[in-house]
Structure 1
Amino acid sequence: MNKKIIIYLMGWILIMEAAFMLLPLAIALIYREISGLWFLAVLITCGAVGRLCTYKKPENMVFFAKEGFVSVALSWIALSFFGALPLYLSGEIPRFENALFEVVSGFTTTGASILSDVESLPRCMIMWRSFTHWIGGMGVLVFILSILPLAGGYNMYIMKAESPGPSVGKLVPKVKSTAKILYKIYLVMTVLQFFLLFAGGMTAFDSLAISFSTAGTGGFGIKNNSMAFYDSYYLQGVVTVFMIMFGVNFHSYYLLLSRNPMAGLKSEEVRTYLGVIGVSILFITLDLRNDFENIFIAFHHAAFQVGSIITSTGYFTVDFNLWPEFSKAILVVLMFTGACAGSTGGGIKISRVLILLKAVRKELQSMIHPRSIKVLKLDGKPVEHNVLRSINTFMGAYVVIFTLTFLVVSLDNFDFMTNFTVAAASLNNIGPGLGEAGPVQNFSGFSPLSKYAMMFAMLAGRLEIFPMLLLFSPSTWKNG
């Protein structure tokens, strides 16, 4: 275990967090909010601790999978701890576990909140909540990879640990260049959404905060009734389109912009993702046709909510907790399927679901024709055995963490639907669930134990489970 490189990377994480806090500090200065001074205090602390950790560059800058996964897990925990301090020290969220819950939910792009009156927060705190989504959406360590050279080529392990999906590869030969490309696409899409919202009459502050939340598919509302506050089909429509766009594999965007755009359009995962969205919208629209003034309004809200749930964003325009059971059932299924690998969305991921379904079909065909040899393929390329093994292991760990989270939350004695969807919303980084955790509710009524269980599930879901589990393995900390 190369512990020095882990400390070095965590130091850079804290330095970057200090830099990120300049935005809410600037907002506090613009709106003359005294609580913004806490961002300055934490900013200085993060910078000082980070500088101590990076003062001496390790002689050995090469690291392997173990160091990569541990660095990611510990960095996200440190990021969340220091990120919660301004909310807690300012007194805006007086209980530390609540402040930590809010920030973990932000960085993991979950969007579950303990706040009942978001609008009462100072604007600097509101912007910080939304900005944590943007930071966590692509991954802060991916950003560091784009500026910090690491030796040996093993920094791909960081990208694999922090990027959602069963298979993460390089877009170009160097990982550093790949990280830069990903962030350029991410930034351009965010800026484009900002200008479209601003052009539609939204204030600059609201446009920026909502663009941050949408890009990270996080969904922290800056109004108490989320996107329902903006009674504009145009504004809600823009958010719908961008939620779906940020749920697409960023590798496909790179292919569309490169000399091989057809490869991006032919992606089996992306086509399945868009197909699932289309079918879900159709079924929910038909189910809601008598609940709204006309079918077009039903379509609008169905499209928004499907896009919000499948990408794990969590915004809402109506209280879907009051929808018919069939529509709610579809949304619960979408909570689990999730968006594409290599996107900012949560859930199991469409690519995993596709590969598992293909594996089931292959096994059935092998039973019927024992001597036949079938190769499991995705996008015309064979799926390697280690990828399938990793997916099977992921699903096993996923079921265990989901079950444990569900059992712990059940101790609070809420109804079954609330407990089940809270576990699903936490592990899949969705945000709102159903029942007492519905879109117009909040998570303040849960016990501290349940909140810590949900925080672990949020981190595990965002980091693809394995980095968090490795922290509890004794062999992880052994040298060699």
Structure 2
Amino acid sequence: MIHYTAIGKVMGGLLMLLAVLMVPSILFSWYYDSRDLMPLAHSGLISGGFGALLFFSFKREDNLIRKREGYLIVALSWLFMSVFGMLPYLFSGTISYLPDAIFETVSGLTTTGATILEDIESMPVGVLTWRSMTQWIGGLGIIVLTVAIFPLLGIGGIELFVAESPGPTSDKLHPRIRETAKRLWFVYVGLTVLVMILYRIGGMDLFDAVNHGLTTMATGGFSTKNASMAHFDIPFIHYVAIIFMFLAGTNFTLIYLGLKGKFNRVWASDEFRAYFTTVLFFILVLTGPIYYFSGTSFEQAFRDSAFQIISLITTTGYVTADYTAYSDEMVIIFFMLLFAGASAGSTSGGIKFIRHLTFVKNSLLEFKRMVHPRAVVPLKINGERVTGKVITHIMNFLLIYLAIFVIGSMVMSFAGYDMLTSFGSVATSLGNVGPAVALVGPMDNFAFFSPFAKLFLCFLMLLGRLELFTILVLFSPYFWRAN
């Protein structure tokens, strides 16, 4: 049977943590004498109070968390965070329509970066800081954070970590899962602070530097400006964003190893080499056409090319130029990048390069198996043999991902939207990217969608962020059957 008391206790701990994470936005509101101070404070008190009620209602011996509880906790944690995370919008009146508040919150927590706001710069500073904070919370995963903290509360975490990170890799920095989570978060926090400092040096004020630092490392893409990063027409800021978006799309285990000076192990990663070479290839290929169509200097064409490509591949969603204004062929390329995703173990969404790499390698080896049917031709990633179970899991993932994209596009089309807008909105929501094509291009927003469409896209965002299976398993009858 499922231990619902353990689930309730964890939900309580998460909501108390959410209340603590609202403090920076409250401090910004107080510092800038913003009108949203009390709404933010009330949101924190309600989240913390309800969380404490749940947490202290259950005894410590109720903390049994197995695999099924882990999946439920992960799914419910994103739901609870979304419900309580939208309170600042509702209480401040900045987003008073419930479907819009849900959409903005889910888009933040899943680091999608799609927005319904039509005038971001008119929003109060506290709410904007909370909006950025939701992306930073979701960046490396709510549960990865709680795995590092919950042992202090007497709650184990390995099942949560497994459910939160269902990808095909299992790299560990430390044999204890809690230490792994802690070290990943130290890297995450350190890089976030560093990019904030560099943005400040580059010319952003404190408020903008903090907010863009939060959303850069989260590969989220929320900005405090209506024009996104195009507002800051400063090459230094753009290059800082390019470098840190790329880092945020890198497996954080490899970043940790790089900081320890183990660069040979970083380059030994097949996924990292594929990620690096793919990014470099598209930058070199598209710089020339962008230079031709935009009429800008070659340096800016290179910068725009690198920025847009890395932003889309890492699913960050920042923009410095309208890539839909180029040729149709280039728009198709940018649309294809919505399905890339960066590295497993990073803050990016999407399919991830490890899955693409496994699919391509296995497909090529299949030709060799056809020619030599009796030969044993194993698939190897990073020099290690990939088991049939992992290959099957990846193939199933890719097939289900494609099926959801097709079905989701049909749903959006039946809801009354044109084909390109339907394709774009579903692709960008499922991949947690942000901008797409047609009516949801880099210069547009999602405000025009109907309440049904917004809620449906929210479901796709959560589905993509938790890599399909963590959510879909809850719809399986096998999950709910007693042991």
TM-score if structure 2 supplies the norm length?
0.96
| Alpha-carbon RMSD | 1.8
Deviation at 1:60, TM superposition (A): 4.7
Distance in structure 2 (CA, Å) of the matches to 1:451 and 1:369: 51
Which region of structure 1 is more displaced relative to structure 2, 118-127 or 358-367?
A: 358-367
- TM-fit CA distance, 1:169: 3.7
Q: Does the CA contact (< 8 Å) of 2:35 and 2:124 recur in 1?
A: no
Q: Identify which range, 113-122 or 44-53, moves more after superposition.
A: 44-53
Deviates more, 1:58-67 or 1:330-339: 58-67
> Post-superposition shift, 1:417?
1.7
Counterparts of residues 195-344 of structure 1 (less than 5 Å)? 195-258=197-260, 260-290=262-292, 291-344=294-347
Which of residues 471, 475, 479 in structure 1 aligns to 2:474?
471
- Asked if 1:50 is matched to 2:62, the reply is no
Tell me by how many angstroms 1:411 deviates: 2.7
Contact 1:61 1:150 (8 Å CA) reproduced: no
Q: Could you tell me which of 97, 103, 108 is aligned with 1:95?
A: 97
Counterparts of 2:117 and 2:53 in 1: how far apart (Å)? 35
1:266 maps to a residue whose letter is A
Partner letter of residue 436 of structure 2? G
Q: CA deviation at 1:399?
A: 2.1
Aligned counterpart for 2:124 among listed residues 122, 125, 129: 122
The one-letter amino acid of 1:467's match is T
Q: What is the identity, as a one-letter code, of the residue corresponding to 1:306?
A: I
SS at match of 2:333: helix
Q: Secondary structure at the match of 1:337?
A: coil
- Given that 1:2 and 1:67 are in contact with CA atoms closer than 8 Å, whether structure 2 keeps it comes out as yes
Q: 2:355 corresponds to which residue?
A: 352
1:475 and 1:38 map into 2 onto residues whose CA distance is 43
CA distance in 1, matches of 2:417, 2:175: 51
State the partner residue of 1:414: 417
User: What is the Cα deviation at residue 259 of structure 1?
Assistant: 6.6
Partner of 2:151, secondary structure, is coil
| Superposition deviation, residue 471 in structure 1 | 2.7
- Match of residue 175 from structure 2: 173
Aligned to 2:390: 387
What is the deviation of 1:207?
0.4
Q: CA deviation at 1:293?
A: 2.5
Give distance in 2, aligned partners of 1:36 and 1:474: 46
Pair 1:294–1:467, CA change in 2 (3 A): same
CA distance in 2: counterparts of 1:183 and 1:154, whole angstroms: 18
Q: 1:357 to 1:213 in 2, by over 3 A?
A: same
Q: Which residue of 2 aligns with 1:193?
A: 195
State the partner residue of 2:87.
85
Separation (CA, whole Å) in 1 of partners of 2:228 and 2:363: 40
Residue 24 of structure 1: how far off its partner (Å): 1.2
Q: Could you list the structure 1 runs, at least 4 aligned residues long, displaced by more than 4 angstroms after superposition.
A: 150-154
Identity %: 39
Which of 470-479 and 96-105 deviates more?
A: 470-479
The answer (yes or no) to whether the contact 1:61–1:151 under 8 Å persists in 2 is no
Aligned residue in 1 for 2:406: 403
Q: Which amino acid aligns with 2:255?
A: Y
Q: CA deviation at 1:395?
A: 1.9
What is the match of residue 75 of structure 2? 73
Q: Could you say what secondary structure the match of 2:338 adopts?
A: helix
Separation (CA, whole Å) in 1 of partners of 2:59 and 2:336:
47
2:338–2:436: 8 Å Cα contact kept in structure 1?
no
2:223 match: secondary structure? coil
Supply the distance in 1 between the matched residues of 2:64 and 2:380 (Cα, whole angstroms). 34
Deviation string, structure 1 residues 159-211 (Cα, Å, up to 9, x no partner): 23323732234210101100000000001111110111111111011000001
Whether the 8 Å contact between 2:171 and 2:253 is mirrored in structure 1 is: no
CA contact (8 A) 1:285 1:298 kept: yes
Gaps of 5+ in 1: none
Q: Distance in 2 between matches of 1:320 and 1:338?
A: 18
Q: Separation in 2 of the partners of 1:253 and 1:62?
A: 33
Alignment pair present for 1:16 and 2:17: yes
- Spell out, residue by residue over 1:336-381, the C-alpha distance to the aligned partner (whole angstroms, 9 max, x if none): 0110000001110000000011111122211111011111100101
Give the counterpart letter for 1:24 in structure 2.
S
The separation in 2 between residues aligned to 1:478 and 1:36, in whole angstroms, is 47
Please identify, of 379-388 and 429-438, the stretch whose mean Cα deviation from structure 2 is larger.
379-388
The question of whether the paired residues in 2 share the 8 Å contact of 1:164 and 1:346 is answered with no
Distance in 2 (alpha carbons) for counterparts of 1:164 and 1:316: 30
Aligned residue for 2:339, secondary structure, equals: helix
- 2: distance between equivalents of 1:86 and 1:60? 32
**Distance of 1:185 and 1:80 partners within structure 2:** 26
Residue in 1 that maps onto 2:437: 434
2:276 counterpart letter in structure 1? L
Give the partner amino acid of 1:275: T
Q: Which residue is 1:148 aligned to?
A: 150
User: Structure 2: how far apart are the matches of 1:157 and 1:421?
Assistant: 34
Shift of 1:150: 9.2
